[in-house]
Amino acid sequence: MVDQLPKPEAPRLITVANQKGGVGKTTSSVNLASGLAMLGSKVLVIDLDPQGNASTALGVEHRAGTTSSYELLIGEASAEEAIQQSTAHENLFCIPATIDLAGAEIELVSLVRREYRLHDALRNSSFLEKNDFDYVLIDCPPSLGLLTINAMTAVDEVLIPIQCEYYALEGVGQLLNNISMIRQHLNPNLHISAILLTMYDARTKLSEQVATEVREHFGDVVLGNIIPRSIKVSEAPGFGQSVLNYDPTSRGAAAYFDAVIEFATRGDYQPVEATGPIGVSPETAKRLAAEAER
């Protein structure tokens, strides 16, 4: 059992994204963040989803009027002013989302450097260095608007949760196209560093088939540890907690804990054989793009 993770050489900035809803995106964001914090890393979660579910799970205030990621994006507050300590762990911090964020897509359109508002707030200041974060995870809304674009211009890595159910790859081709375009025009460092399989049901042949298909598409960028479908994982958000805090002995908690260790110890994964612009092979990118256009 790993008691403490090695400290990365530089802060790892990761966007957790999938334009398809219900794939375990927010659940994965808060559980990976909680696991990293429990293993000694200093972690920041930035909630860019107007629903604020990550903020709820991390136990931070996010009522209307709370200084949040909305004020950060429109330039009315600094990251230092918006950050709160999570009740989940002393190493875990959050910049919450409030309902105000719902209108941010429209407001951002007229702002200078509208695609780089989050990048500038994090990287063009001493915030990251001053706070010595090991990991910054950004939880995105299930869409590909300006909020998600801001998340992707601010980071180097993208982690994509994919559920082991019907239509698992639906929309992934379009997501890859968008990541590729953002890399080409806005952020040349952006790449997929991990794909996490979620909602795996060992009782069904379907889950096994989907997992196999995803591994055939993406190869070793897919984490070896899979998150099972779990009642405890589903229950935890109702209690405003990650499953690692809600029931650390459950199967779901153990799976997320193992995924955290794998993700952290293998570092920022960039497959050598993937010469395409998004962290997967050009053949895979073309095939999924073709599927997205059908």
Structural domains counted in the chain: 1
Which CATH number is 48's domain given?
A: 3.40.50.300
Strands (E), 185-280: 191-198
Q: Could you give the dihedral angle defined by the CA atoms of residues 128, 153, 138 and 113, in that order, rounded to the nearest 10 degrees?
A: 80
The answer to whether the CB of 41 falls within 8 A of the CB of 7 is yes
Residue 1 lies in a domain: no
Ordered strands of the 43-47 beta sheet: 84-85, 92-95, 43-47, 135-139, 12-16, 157-163, 191-198
Residue 37 lies in a domain: yes
Identity at 79, one-letter amino acid code: A
Residue 7 lies in a domain: no
Residue 2 lies in a domain: no
Residue 35 lies in a domain: yes
228 has which bridge partners? 200
CA 144 – CA 127 distance, rounded (Å): 26
The answer to whether the CB of 149 falls within 8 A of the CB of 155 is no
CA distances from 273 to 56, 169, 224 (A): 40, 22, 18
Question: What predicted TM-score, i.e. pTM, was given to this entire model?
Answer: 0.90
Residue 5 lies in a domain: no
CA distances from 285 to 179, 234, 290 (A): 11, 32, 9
Residue 44 lies in a domain: yes
What number of other Cβ atoms are within 10 A of residue 293's Cβ?
9
Instruction: Give the pair of three-digit tokens for residue 210.
Output: 């989907």
Name 112's Cβ contacts closer than 8 Å, sequence gap at least 6.
none
* Res 285: pLDDT: 55
Range of 116's domain? 12-293
Look at residue 217 and tell me whether its pLDDT is greater than 50: yes
Residue 3 lies in a domain: no
Q: Quick one: which H or E segment has residue 92?
A: strand 92-95
* pLDDT (tens digit per residue) in 125-184: 889 989 999 999 999 988 888 999 999 999 999 999 998 888 777 778 888 989 999 999
Average pLDDT over residues 77-88: 95
* pLDDT (tens digit per residue) in 7-64: 999 999 999 998 777 778 899 999 999 999 999 999 999 999 999 999 999 999 999 8
